[in-house]
Every structure is written in structure tokens, then in C-alpha cells.
Chains A and B, each alone.
Chain A
């Protein structure tokens, strides 16, 4: 029991500390391609530290929803992170829920974020919320179908089981269903983390924003929670991608030796995926807003095909 609790704390610390690093790494990569020096790798940590010490400006029109949103978002995202295997195939809380819980914990956070954007009555918040909901309405089914594909292969929706089943068969990711599902999930990752070509995280233009528009009214510690939650959500989605499709090197239990190796491999795989994400970002312009659903429809079709091919090539 004590071990379980310690494990949860260890896992939380890992997710909390690692998530800003991925954000920082992505920015460093992009800056290099743009011939800029760019901010340092640890700038996201500095930003969080700075925001937590700052005062807040809360609009007069804000209700309790505005205050509750950062907490709900942060807690749900963190809970979701406990349900996925990171450096060990055993996720700390995997007994309490599988992939459906992960998807809907994230959806709950997004629901509150959209409410928080609408709550103050500002015009940009409403714009952002409506756009976010439009996009997530299509991104969510694509995500669901893609994870179902791998769940069918493993015979369980529990992500720990899925990762473990993958361990035995290192070349499984070459199966058509797996590749299609990976492609679909990659598009979902781009959309859900607000990256180009779906959203531009670096823009100052309120009229073009999606995620940033919803959180325009937030400042100080609340903003820090939201930013941190966004980084954790990115880590969660990236972890699902790397650990479910490429689980090799993943430790089967929590013994120190394999876990350390697993940690090194895990970070390596995440950084590799970040490079791919950054490459997509720097080589594309942002899509026109009305084209985004088309991109997500592609993700949906890919995951549907993945599901179908699971049965076709099962024999």
C-alpha cells in the first residue's frame, strides 16, 4: 500500500517535471530552424515560477466557473497522466480506469476550459471556446477509434495491458492497423496540443487564436496552472503515442534497474517525437480555420480504416 502511494508520488513528480521540458525542447528546436537563438530549454520552468509568484487580475464579470476552471483542468489532466504507462508498463492507477477514462478526463478539463473562456463574456474567449469545441468534436472520435484499434489487438482498454502486450511483439507497429492508428493519433496530437497547422501557439493575434483565446483573461497562478496542464496534456498524448506503439525498452515492473533504462529510453522517444512535431510545425503554414475539420476528418478516416484492418489482417 505504501509502495503504491510512493509510486503515485514518483509518477506525479515525473510528469510534473518532465512536461515543461518537452515544451521547452519544442521551442528550442523551432528557434534553431528559424535561425533564432530562442529561449533556453528551461524557460517554461522559469515562466511557471514567475507566474506562480504574480498577482492576478480577475474580471468583474467572472463567476465561480472562472476560478474553478484552472483547478479542474489541472487535476483532471494530472489524473489522466496517472492512468497511462510512462516508464513502467504498470501505470500507477491503471486499475481504476483504462483509455476511456483518459479520454474523458481530458474532455472534462476541456469542457471547463471552454466554459472559463465563455464565463467572462469577453468576445475573444467566446471565439476561442466555440473554435475549440468545433475541433474537439471531431478530434475526440478519431482519438477514440484509434485507441480502440490497439485495444482490440491487446484485448483490453487498459493502457497498461496494451503496452505490455506490445512488449512481446516488437515489430507490431508495422502492422497496417497500427500504422494507420498511429497516423490518426499523430494528427489528433497536433490538434489537441494546439500546434501548427491547427493552431499557432506563438501568435499574438487574438483573432486567429484557438487555445490562447480561451485563456486570454487568465493571469498569474491561474494561468500557470493552465499552462502547466497544457504541457501535461501534451506529455500524456505523446506518451500514449510512444508507449502504446513503440513500447520496447519499457520496464515491466518498478524495479530500479529496468526503470532507469526505461526512463532514458522514454525521454529519448519523447524527444524524437518532438522533433517530428517541430518539423511539421516549421514546414507548414497554419490552415484556414475551416480546413481544420477536414484535417481531423482525415484522422477519423485513418482510425476507422485502422479499426477495419485490425479485423481484415487478423488471420
Chain B
């Protein structure tokens, strides 16, 4: 395991603010996790450039419609600094009569899709965007901007059909296009992959997502908070606890409540169980995609093991309906946690055996090593997060960098590799399985009886808050603005898949077509989480 050393000394936001010479119109610490700063729209691009020069990472860009409150549109750039547990949210005001903002996608490709989403959903033009085509609403959609407040959610659009998207043409002798999807052979979600190939080697991959766009962010604005939790849990079916927890953390922060210690620890266990069942499933799936089916079936058996623990603890194999604002819906009996501990001990032994089997298979290693390399420089530039990032030298993990739940009580390692191939993405998962087992063990040892749920006061209106969770896939963000009568004015969701799809494009380049499925599987991104 190697720890890459960043060339830029990490500093906290206060030091950066004092030294970088950016003029912020205001600067306020909303709570111990968020700083809100305002900036004039003309200073936006220099500000982003200066912060990035100072080692900050632009984690997300999103907008909200405040025209009903008389402040036009607001644009937020969310920054993270390695040496600061807080996030910096820089707010830019966009007047209604000039609905445009300066794009930074040319310098920071990580926000390419996010800026185009803002264009599609709010009608705010990303000026200077290198590829200003539609992304979230496909080309055949009428000219609508559904996240604007004057767009009623029950609008019935006239029927439209005929996808008109123009792919980059594939030219040259012996160069062909292979269109794959959006409907695939397995039981997976829809996405279109357009390969340009010269024989078997892939020259270029073009992606098309958002086939399952459901207007989730708009839907959040309609629901009372206690029901919105269920919606958060279903943003990406395999990350229900992570998304649910991120959402609840935002609500709790907006309400200004602290959840009981027991609830924090229980959430930590659930989050790690979710990581466990997904990682084990993925390790098997990667082996399966190179034709090593035996390992897959044993991994499936182990995944089932964890699912049984999930059911024992929560009544739901996929951990739905578990978290709620203030803590968890149900407390656990001593018997349940004992069972969980015993089951995980058995799991540990069997997992070690599974890994011995996979490690002993030279033919599997031959397929995985140096396949689908995502170079660390590209991973950093594209803002790749989570498992895929850590396999390519991006040493970020929210559990360590921005601790939530009970992660500041436990010790664990963050595995980081520099090679960035399929094997290392699998290795990161394997290492994290061991770390997760250790975390659960530490928590179980300290899980003292107590309250599992704090009372949540009525939601105060017009509060903003951010909830972040390191889901098993990577960084999940929920940003909310509360409205009247316990509802939300805006809920922005950022799933790690949204960051990571472009990584797939880079990783497959130069590989051969039959290796694509295993490369794709090593990222295992969520279509539903991307499309929302």
C-alpha cells in the first residue's frame, strides 16, 4: 500500500482565505461542517482557479431557484480542502434576466456533467462550456426546465420520441462503431455505450446516461420530511443506508440536533454492513466477468451471509426503512447484536478462504492486472471519488476526512493504490472489507445501551445544510434548503457515480472490447444514482 504525497501543502479554509486574495462578499460558518461564502459572479472563475491552486477540490456544483424569495438563482460551488473537516460552499447570485454563469468545466472536467445538468434543469447557460450539449434531459425533450419553481411537478408533457443525439463520428479505415444498450442482456439498468473500435482495441467510448431520469430532486420538494427519507433510500438501491444517512444528517444539521451516541454507532454498523455486502458481491462479479464463476458463486454465498445479518438487525435484507432523522427507527436487542458479531466472525473465516482461492488463480490475476488503467493524474483531474479514486491514488475517504456517525471513535486504514487497474480496484474492495469488519468489531465492543433516536423538532424554515457520507461507492452529498410546513425547498443529491462515469471512458481506452465488461464491473456505477 502506498501513500501518495500531494505536492501542495494542505491548509484549512481560513488560512487559504487570508492568503489567496479573493474578495468574498460574506463569510459565515453555518455550523461546524459548513462555511458559506458569497462572491460576485465576475469573480467566480478567478476564485475557483485560486482555490484549486491552493489545493482545494471542487466537489460539486449545483443551483437553486430562489426567484419566489426574490433573489434570482443561486449557484453553489462546494469545495473541500484536505486539511479541513469543513466544506466551503461559495454562493453566486444569478439575476433572473441574465440566466447564465461562467463555466469552469474547461479547467475542471469533474464538473462537466454537473454544469450541463444545471443548464438542463434550471435553464442557466454555462458560458464557455467546452461541450454545452444536453445531458440530463435528452435531446428529444421539449425546452423545459423542471427544477424551476414555476414548473409544476404535475405538468403533462406532449408525447415526444426519436432520440436525436449526435455521437462524435467515427472515421478512418477499418474503424467501426459498436452501439451497446441502452437495453442490456443482464438484469442491469439502462445506459448507452458507443464504442469506436479498430478491430478489437477500443479507440474511444461515448456514454449516454439519464435514461432513468425520474425527477427525484423535484420530488423531494413535494414530500414531508418523514416520507422524503424513503425517497432518499431509493435513490440508488444498493446504497440505501448511505443515501438515507446523508439525507438524515442534513435534516439533523438543519434542525440543529445531535443524535444519541448509540444511534451514531448503530448507523456506523449499518453503513459498514452495506459496504460489506456490496464489496463482496463486486469481488465475485469481477471474478465472474473474467469467467472464474466458482469464485463468484462463493462470493454470492458470502454476500447472502451479510444480507441475513441485515435482515436480523433491521428486518430488511437491503437495509430499507432503517434510518430516520434523529437516529434509527428501531432499537436492537442484545441478542441481535450478538448474532451479528458471531455471523461476522464466521464471515471473516470464509472470506479469507475466498480470497485465497482468488489469489491462487493466476489466470484471474492475468486478466485483471494492467486492465482498464485509470492514471492517477486523470483520476485527480476528473475528480474521481471512492473506490475507483483510491485505486488511482486519490487518497480521500469522507469517513476519515469529514467524520460523521461514529467514525471518529474507531481506527481504520484507507487503502490507496497508484496503479489504477481492475486488480487494484478489486484490491481496494478487499482491503476495505477487512477494515469494515474491524470497524464493526470495534463498534460492537463499545455499543452501550441508550437511546436510539432523538426527538426531532419541527423543521425550521429557510435553513441550509449539507449531509455527506462515504457510501461504499464513494462520496455522497445531500444539500437541503428547508421550506415552510416541514417541507424542503430544494434537495440536491450527488451520487458518486456522477463523478465516476467519465473515468470509465478514460479507463477503457486502448483496451480490447471483450475486456470492457470487467472494467465496467470494477467501477460498478449506479445508473439510477446518476440519473436521479
Contacts and interface: CB of A to CB of B under 8 A. Distances in A.
A284 B50 CA distance: 52
Interface residues of A toward B: which range? 20 to 34
Nearest to A31: B297
A205 B186 contact: yes
B298 A286 contact: no
A282 interface: yes
B378 interface: no
A285 interface: yes
Contact of B514 (A197, A208, A285): A208
Interface string A30-49: 10011110000000000000
Nearest to B364: A285
Given A35-B301, A197-B363, A208-B517, A123 B291 contact: no
Interface stretch (B175-183, B306-314, B386-394, B466-474): B175-183
B29 interface: no
A64 interface: no
A275 to B, nearest CB: 15
Given A204-B186, A208-B517, A289 B512 contact: yes
Interface of B: 176-180, 185-186, 199-200, 287, 289-294, 296-298, 301, 361, 363-364, 366-367, 371, 512-517
Interface centre among A35, A205, A283, by most B CB within 10 Å?
A: A205
A206 to B, nearest CB: 6
A202 interface: yes
A287 B363 contact: yes
A200 B366 contact: no
Given A205-B185, A288-B366, A35 B297 contact: yes
A286 B367 contact: yes
A98 B53 CA distance: 76
Nearest to B512: A289
Interface in A268-288: 282-288
Contacts of A4: none
Interface of A: 30, 33-36, 123-124, 127, 130, 196-197, 200, 202-208, 282-291
B520 to A, nearest CB: 9
Contacts of A206: 180, 185
B53 to A, nearest CB: 41
A83 B292 CA distance: 36
19 contacts: A30-B293, A123-B176, A123-B177, A207-B178, A207-B513, A283-B294, A284-B291, A284-B361, A285-B287, A285-B290, A285-B361, A285-B363, A285-B367, A286-B290, A287-B363, A288-B514, A288-B515, A289-B200, A290-B512
B301 A286 contact: no
A180 to B, nearest CB: 23
B115 to A, nearest CB: 31
A207 B298 contact: no
A289 B514 CA distance: 7
A207 B361 contact: no
A109 B514 CA distance: 25
Given A208-B517, A287-B363, 5 more contacts: A197-B363, A283-B294, A283-B361, A285-B290, A291-B366
Nearest to A290: B512
A207 B294 contact: no
A35 B298 contact: yes
Contacts of B361: 283-285
B291 A197 contact: yes
Nearest to B368: A285
Contacts of A289: 200, 512, 514-515
Given A127-B513, A290-B512, A204 B185 contact: yes
A207 B180 contact: yes
Given A205-B517, A207-B516, A290 B200 contact: yes
A226 B196 CA distance: 31
Contacts of A202: 293
A285 B298 CA distance: 15
Contacts of A205: 185-186, 289, 517
A287 B179 CA distance: 24
Contacts of A196: 291
Contacts of A33: 294
B294 A282 contact: yes
A285 B292 contact: yes
Contact of B178 (A36, A127, A197): A127
Contact of B293 (A34, A124, A208, A287): A34
Nearest to B295: A285
A282 B293 contact: yes
B290 to A, nearest CB: 4
Contacts of A284: 291-292, 361, 363
Nearest to B361: A285
Nearest to B188: A204
A124 B514 CA distance: 11
Interface centre among B290, B513, B514, B517, by most A CB within 10 Å?
A: B514
Contacts of B514: 207-208, 288-289
Nearest to A36: B297
A127 B179 CA distance: 12
A124 B293 CA distance: 23
A288 B294 CA distance: 18
A185 B366 CA distance: 25
Given A35-B298, A36-B297, A207 B517 contact: yes
